[in-house]
Structure 1
Amino acid sequence: MLNIFEVNETNKMIDQENLDVRTITLGISLLDCIDGNLETLKTNIYEKITRIAENLVATGDEIGKEFGVPIVNKRISITPIAIIGASACKTTQDFVEIARVLDKAAKQTGVNFIGGYSALVSKGSTKADELLMKSIPEALSVTERVCSSVNLGSTRTGINMDAVRLMGEIILETAQLTKDEDSIGCAKLVVFCNAPDDNPFMAGAFHGVTEADAVINVGVSGPGVVKKALEKVRGESFEVLCETIKKTSFKVTRVGQLVAREASRRLNIPFGIVDLSLAPTPAIGDSVADILQEIGLERVGAPGTTAALALLNDQVKKGGVMASSYVGGLSGAFIPVSEDQGMIDAVQAGALTIEKLEAMTCVCSVGLDMIAIPGDTKASTISGIIADESAIGMINQKTTAVRLIPVIGKGVGEVAHFGGLLGYAPIMQVNPFSCDAFVNRAGRIPAPIHSFKN
């Protein structure tokens, strides 16, 4: 049984070590909103979201106040809009109209983000998928709270290279349309391989078609808590190190389980999953990079970084799965650059490159996340990076993602400022050699041999 005493046990973590519940995300199915008439569809979408999510923010605030647990964000994820709008949307502008409705619904309910302006194209694209993808730059430039994602690869299907090529162009166009804000539109756009249906974290969250009509998913976070625990076992063996991470992860996840169950009870919406990821913020002491350095690295990026991250990710999962009846989403350790002060410091010190980050994504939860690159980077280069990251996910049967931000008008050594939880990021060097002939091939990369397990 979970009870308030378990939360009281974590008071020190909350007060001094930046423990928080990063998000309560309400997943809502929009399948029953589908209509061939665009105006009817828009009305259906707005009505259902605002009705089901009416009390989400207030309930989250009440739970946080009563239990003394900071609940930083309240969010909504929805069924991928390329599916929902397929019948009614005949142009990119039709999809942009839906994006405006989603933004209006997000503001009405008070959530900070709504995710699911998405397409699932791992094996091929429908006409609606293509229209939605091409509408993304304008949709993200005219809305504040809408987040977009495209899943273009999987272990079972391979990688849709036509979509990879298109998304390189889409990311650059999004950067151009939001260049006055350091191309922040790209911070709301994630490209996936093996995207999960129940991810509560933005910007990649969407409500999968296999999910219930509505569910509560919670994402917990506590890099500062793990860092403080490891300070007490500095110099000890790997066995002691691993046990410490597991025990700490267990306590952090128990808080998320309690909040998720309580939110589910009060909203009368089924509990889905707890995502037990270590998600950093720009706050000092809330850094995954600091954990890796506490394990024994001078800077993230030094030899041994990938091994240290693999250890951390595995122990977080081993501890967390014992603390919750349902663990899902991404779960592990996030390594975004702009949202982690330790990662930023490593880049500025010359210790961390995109190539080393790519190696680290082989063993962490997500991928190349919140990385600012020069604004004059070619679309084909962005597509090549997406293809590389997708291949890591496809071959290793794991989720990988790319959230690159080509900052228009800025180059290597300059800094992009995004504000809030998104923080700031130094512009990182991108390999200048061309991959044009590779990404311009039509078709898809086939699924790997180990995908055939029927």
Structure 2
Amino acid sequence: MITLNEVIETNSMVSKMNLDVRTITMGISLLDCVGKDVQETCDKIFKKITESAKDLVATGNEITKMYGIPIIHKRISVTPIALVGGSVCKTIDDFIEIAKTLDRAAAEVGVNFIGGYSALVSKGMTAADKLLIESIPRALAETNVVCSSVNCGSTKTGINMDAIKLIGEKIKEAAELTADNDSIGCAKFVVFCNAPDDNPFMAGAFHGVTEADRVINVGVSGPGVVKTALEEVRGESFEVLCETIKKTAFKITRVGQLVAKEASKRLNVPFGIVDLSLAPTPAIGDSVADILHEIGLEYAGAPGTTAALALLNDQVKKGGIMASSYVGGLSGAFIPVSEDQGMIKAAEIGCLTIEKLEAMTCVCSVGLDMIAIPGDTKATTISGIIADEMAIGMINQKTTAVRIIPVIGKKEGDSAEFGGLLGYAPIMKVNNYDCSNFVNRTGRIPAPVHSFKN
């Protein structure tokens, strides 16, 4: 049972430490929406989403009023559209129609984002998968809140380099189609290795085929709460540091559990998972980088950063997993450059580089996230960066991801403005030594030897 005292304790965390529930995400299966043609499929998709999520936003608002806990976003994730549209979509335009239907349904129910314009291609691409990937630039440019993802690798299957080469080209195209808005289309697209089926966070959320017809997943936040707690034990031993993080993560996750169970009951939709991730915002005092500073680093990126992040990530999981009956998603600590004031500052002064961020992703919950790079970066260079990150996920049996934004017309030292929770980002230096002969090889990188466990 979650007691009234626990609710009261969160008031201070909400009012003084930027605690919030980042999202309530309703996952909706669209497998029963396939019609005889694209139009019938779109009609069924619109009907299923609008009927399932008609009360989602109002419910979130009611829970906020009841408990005083800010719920920043209400979102929807759906079955990967490459699967839903596979039998009826014969052209790029067919998939674009589904994207526009998702956007229209999201607007109808009032959610902030809808995810699942996705394909799962870790071992190979069907004709439908390839069409969907080719349609992504237009889908993101011609919709407002649709988010897209592609899973290109896994520990069990290896890395699909054909898909990664194509995706590098499509990221450049998406950047060009939204060049008048700092290439923001790329901010709504992410590439995964080992993508989870129950992630509530955008842009990578989709409703996995192993999930129930509908579920409620919740993503918590709380970097400011952890930082404030660590201020009270400044200079103490690692044992005290770890205990403090664990206890604080427990309290943060209990808030997520409370919201998830209440939303599940009110919407009559099964509770799925609570994602334990510490998700920063551009707000001052709500930064994962500031936690690293409090642990003892001058800036994120200084020597010791990877170790400090590993400690933080592990203790968040150890504390959070005891606070919820079901945890899942990504769970850990996000390190998006544009959404974290401390990360932005570290990147601006040159302490934080793409290479150091890549090292940090070996121990964090996601990967290279919201990184803005020069707009003239070659597609093969982008594919090479993605391949490196996929390899980290594959070898280490963890989820990794890349959300990278080549900002057309911008160069190193400039900045890009994305707005809202996406914040702004300095344009970071990219290693432009050529990798095209590597990227242009066809096929896939085989799975590692430790993947064979049958």
TM, length-normalised to structure 1: 1.00
Number of matched pairs: 454
* Residues 223, 280 of structure 1: 8 Å contact kept: yes
Aligned residue identity for 2:75: R
Aligned-partner SS, 2:323: coil
- Matched position secondary structure for 1:58: helix
1:412 counterpart residue number: 412
Alignment check: 8 A CA contact 1:121 1:151 kept: yes
Partner of 2:144: 144
Looking at structure 2, the residues matched to 160 and 272 of structure 1 have their Cα atoms a distance apart, in angstroms, of 30
Residues 190-243 of structure 1: CA deviation (Å, up to 9, x unaligned): 000000000000000000000000000000000000000000000000000000
CA contact (8 A) 1:79 1:208 kept: yes
Alignment of 1:351-390 (within 5 A): 351-390=351-390
Counterpart in 2 of 1:51?
Answer: 51
2:446 maps to what in 1?
446
Amino acid at match of 1:316: V
Alpha-carbon distance, 1:432 to partner: 1.3
CA–CA separation in structure 1 for the residues paired with 2:10 and 2:409: 45
Give the letter aligned to residue 313 of structure 1.
N
Identify the range of structure 1 (27-36 vs 123-132) with the bigger mean alpha-carbon deviation: 27-36
One-letter amino acid of the counterpart of residue 185, structure 2? G
Amino acid at match of 1:61: N
The answer as to whether partners of 1:25 and 1:216 remain within 8 angstroms in 2 is yes
User: Map of 1:74-223 to 2, 5 A cutoff?
Assistant: 74-223=74-223
- Is residue 10 from structure 1 mapped to residue 7 from structure 2 by the alignment? no
Deviation of 1:48 after TM superposition, in Å, equals 0.2
Percent sequence identity is 77
Shift of 1:337: 0.1
Q: Distance in 2 between matches of 1:368 and 1:54?
A: 34
CA deviation profile, 1:356-399 (whole Å, cap 9, x unmatched):
00000000000000000000000000000000000000000000
Partner of 1:424: 424
* Equivalent in the alignment of 2:247: 247
1:329 equivalent in structure 2: 329
State the distance in 2 between where 1:4 and 1:93 align.
53
Q: In 2, Cα distance between the equivalents of 1:311 and 1:38? A: 49
Q: Is the 8 A contact 1:3 1:258 kept in 2?
A: no
Q: Which residue of 1 aligns with 2:35?
A: 35
Question: Match of 2:332, SS?
Answer: coil
C-alpha deviations, 1:302-334, integer Å up to 9, x for none?
A: 100000000000000000000000000000000
Q: Distance in 1 between matches of 2:128 and 2:418?
A: 31
Distance in 2 separating the partners of 1:39 and 1:334? 39
Is 1:73–2:73 an aligned residue pair?
A: yes
Q: Identify the residue that residue 434 of structure 1 maps to in structure 2.
A: 434
Gaps of 5+ in 2: none
Instruction: Tell me, in whole angstroms, the C-alpha distance in 1 between the residues paired with 2:266 and 2:3.
Output: 15
> Which residue of structure 2 lines up, in the alignment, with residue 260 of structure 1?
260
State the 1:350 CA deviation. Answer: 1.1
1:9 positional shift: 1.4
* Contact 1:122–1:154, Cα closer than 8 Å, also in 2: yes
- SS of 1:152's equivalent in the other structure is strand
Q: Distance in 2 between matches of 1:7 and 1:255?
A: 8
For 1:288 and 1:36, locate their aligned partners in 2 and report how far apart those are by CA, in whole Å.
48
Supply the distance in 2 between the matched residues of 1:247 and 1:402 (Cα, whole angstroms). Answer: 31
Compute the displacement of 1:4 (Å): 3.7
Deviation at 1:404, TM superposition (A): 0.2
Query: What secondary structure, in the 3-state scheme, does the structure 1 residue paired with 2:195 have?
Result: coil
State the alpha-carbon separation in 1 of the partners of residues 12 and 291 from structure 2. 18
Structure 1 segments of 4+ aligned residues over 6 angstroms from their partners: none
Equivalent residue letter for 1:410: K
How much does 1:2 deviate? 1.9
Once residues 189 and 275 of structure 1 are traced to their aligned partners in structure 2, the CA distance between those partners, rounded to angstroms, is 20
Matched with 1:269 is 269
Aligned alpha-carbon RMSD (Å) = 0.5
Report the Cα distance in structure 1 between the residues aligned to 2:36 and 2:206, rounded to whole angstroms: 22
Instruction: Return the alpha-carbon distance in structure 2 between the equivalents of residues 31 and 427 of structure 1.
Output: 40
Residue type at the aligned position of 1:77? S
How far is the alpha carbon of 1:5 from its aligned partner?
Answer: 3.1
Is the 8 Å Cα contact of residues 4 and 67 (structure 1) preserved in structure 2?
A: no
Q: Aligned partners of 1:8 and 1:434: how far apart in 2?
A: 57
Query: 1:285 is matched with which residue?
Result: 285
Instruction: State the Cα deviation string for residues 97-132 of structure 1 (Å, max 9, x = none).
Output: 100000000000000000000000000000000000
Question: Does the 8 Å CA contact 1:281/1:340 hold for their aligned counterparts?
Answer: yes
